[in-house]
């Protein structure tokens, strides 16, 4: 006997087992995430089969765990041809049941941590709680600190009071050879942070931060690689705004080009960040700081067009959403960077780089050529320190020409 679970899902037989009462709500959740009817049918079919297997195995609703899902997939593979999406569908079902409070959270098996890892975790908590650093900064520092601890103590006991300047110097000398200059500089920054933490704990009395060798990495050694105004116009003109994806991509590219936003700022932009009445945009920049920017008419029009005609229905408060299920906001800046790279490739534009930051450099360069001061540029770009903006002085070729001294013995 056929059973209708959802207006797009029909099962060939009546479902049974502990998950019967949750199949409809699971189907509704899948539909809300933008999955196709075919995908919904397959996922609900997997859920119904899992529920039937649980009944045969005598597993109650509260006893369901990840191991049961693994065992069911093995059982299913012996009877029907498995599909690559089966595992993901079952994982999505388990996550849904946990979010509804139907199934208990996953129990992480306890295992013995190495002393170096225990020390690294304590340092991580210090960065988050005492220093209030962002997760991105914590993730950037942690690998270098783990390597340093392993260099000094191996897998044995960590005795921070035994740290000496020679340990610091030897680690940097060995590790820096294999790193790009920028990463080597990040390594020394992370190392100084960790050594300040060790002194803060009282493990050492001597300030070992001065023992960290300086990596030669001169600031402002190159001119910012900026996309030209003509290339930007060519890129925007190449976007097909008749499609929903085109509406989204055009709005994102206009934001990057006209306001010089960072990729992560565009990715995490929310509906509440736009004040349509006052024509302002509230951007969350580095360190969680807010930067209020005017919303140009063309940028506002592009966003409004996407919201009205291109944005899928979703409970997410993010402005820009993925086009493939699950329909959610971008996880981070990588999605925006990929969008820029693909758009440049489709348009056949040989831009200075493939990333999103070139629009930021392009805006600064254009503002400078139109007479804007460095302080005005820094305010638009949300720079915390004035010296960050001084790099764009190198891009003002006309102004630099007036500083050039005559060639000795010139014509």
- DSSP calls for 216-260: ---TT-S------HHHHHHHHHTS-TTSHHHHHHHHHHHHHHHH-
Q: Of all helices (H) and strands (E), which one includes residue 367?
A: helix 357-369
Contact 149, 116 (CB under 8 A): yes
171 and 35 share one domain: no
Three-state SS at 309? helix
Predicted confidence at residue 396, as pLDDT, reads 52
User: pLDDT, tens digit, for every residue of 83-133?
Assistant: 878 888 888 888 888 888 887 766 544 457 899 999 999 999 999 888 888
Q: How many helices (H) and strands (E) does the chain have?
A: 17, 5
Do 235 and 202 share a domain, yes or no? no
Closest to 283 measured CA to CA, from 264, 256, 260, 265: 265
> Residue 219 has what pLDDT?
56
Mean pLDDT of 265-277: 93
Does residue 316 carry a pLDDT above 60? Answer: yes
From 180, 211, 242, give the residue that closes a domain: 211
- 233 and 341 both lie in a single domain: yes
**Do 189 and 276 share a domain, yes or no?**
no
Q: How far apart are CA 166 and CA 148, in angstroms?
A: 12
Q: Is 75 helix (H, G, I), strand (E, B) or coil?
A: helix
Distance of CA 40 to the CA centre of its chain: 28
Q: Is residue 75 part of a domain?
A: yes
| Model pLDDT for residues 68-92, shown as the tens digit of each residue | 888 988 888 888 887 878 888 888 8
Confidence label for 66 from pLDDT (cuts 50, 70 and 90): confident
Q: Model-level pTM?
A: 0.63
Instruction: Give a yes or no: residue 408 inside a domain.
Output: no
In a domain, 105, yes or no: no
Predicted pLDDT of residue 108: 46
**Same domain, yes or no, for 193 and 235?**
no
- Residue reference for tokens 């809300």: 32
Residues 207, 290 within the same domain: no
CA proximity to 10, closest of 34, 45, 52? 45
CATH number at residue 254: 1.10.443.10
Name the percent of the chain lying above pLDDT 70.
84
Check whether residue 296 and residue 359 sit in a common domain. Answer: yes
User: How far, in Å, are 15, 19, 30, 52, 81 from residue 75 at the CA level?
Assistant: 18, 18, 25, 12, 11
| Mean pLDDT of the region 286-307 | 87
Task: Clarify whether residues 269 and 390 are in a common domain.
Answer: yes
Q: Which residues are catalytic?
A: 262, 286, 357, 360, 383, 392
Q: Are residues 345 and 369 in the same domain?
A: yes
Our count of domains for the chain comes to 3
405 within some domain = no
For residue 199, the enclosing domain spans 115-211
Which CATH number characterizes residue 195's domain?
1.10.150
């Amino acid at each position: 006997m056929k059973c209708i679970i959802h207006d797009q899902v029909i099962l060939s037989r009546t479902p049974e087992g502990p998950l019967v009462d949750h199949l409809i709500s699971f189907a509704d959740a899948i539909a809300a995430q933008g999955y196709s009817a075919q995908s919904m049918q397959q996922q609900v079919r997997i859920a119904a089969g899992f529920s039937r297997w649980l009944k045969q195995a005598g597993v109650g609703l509260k006893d369901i765990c990840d191991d049961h899902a693994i065992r069911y997939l093995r059982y299913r593979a012996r009877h029907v041809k498995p599909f690559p999406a089966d595992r993901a569908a079952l994982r999505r079902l388990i996550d849904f049941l946990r979010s509804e409070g139907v199934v208990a959270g996953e129990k992480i098996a306890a295992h013995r941590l190495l002393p170096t890892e225990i020390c690294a975790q304590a340092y991580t908590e210090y960065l988050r709680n005492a220093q209030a650093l962002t997760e991105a900064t914590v993730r950037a520092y942690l690998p270098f600190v783990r390597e340093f601890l392993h260099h000094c103590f191996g897998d044995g006991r960590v005795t921070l009071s035994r740290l000496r300047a020679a340990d610091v110097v030897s680690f940097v000398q060995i590790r820096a050879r294999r790193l790009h200059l920028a990463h080597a500089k990040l390594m020394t920054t992370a190392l100084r942070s960790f050594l300040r933490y060790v002194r803060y704990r009282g493990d050492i009395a001597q300030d070992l931060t001065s023992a960290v060798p300086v990596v030669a990495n001169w600031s402002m050694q190159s001119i910012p690689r900026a996309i030209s105004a003509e290339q930007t116009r060519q890129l925007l003109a190449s976007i097909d705004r008749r499609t929903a994806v085109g509406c989204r991509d055009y709005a994102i590219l206009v934001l990057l080009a006209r306001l010089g936003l960072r990729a992560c700022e565009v990715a995490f932009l929310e509906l509440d960040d736009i004040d349509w009445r006052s024509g302002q945009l509230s951007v969350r920049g580095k360190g969680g700081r807010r930067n209020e920017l005017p919303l140009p008419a063309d940028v506002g029009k592009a966003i409004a067009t996407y919201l009205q005609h291109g944005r899928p229905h979703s409970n997410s408060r993010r402005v820009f959403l993925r086009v493939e299920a699950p329909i959610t906001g971008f996880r981070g800046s990588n999605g925006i960077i990929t969008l820029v790279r693909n758009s440049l490739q489709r348009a056949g534009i040989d831009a200075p780089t493939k990333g999103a930051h070139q629009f930021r450099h392009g805006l600064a360069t254009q503002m400078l050529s139109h007479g804007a001061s460095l302080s005005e540029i820094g305010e638009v770009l949300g720079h915390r320190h004035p010296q960050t903006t001084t790099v764009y002085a190198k891009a003002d070729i006309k102004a630099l020409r007036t500083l050039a001294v005559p060639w000795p013995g010139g014509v």
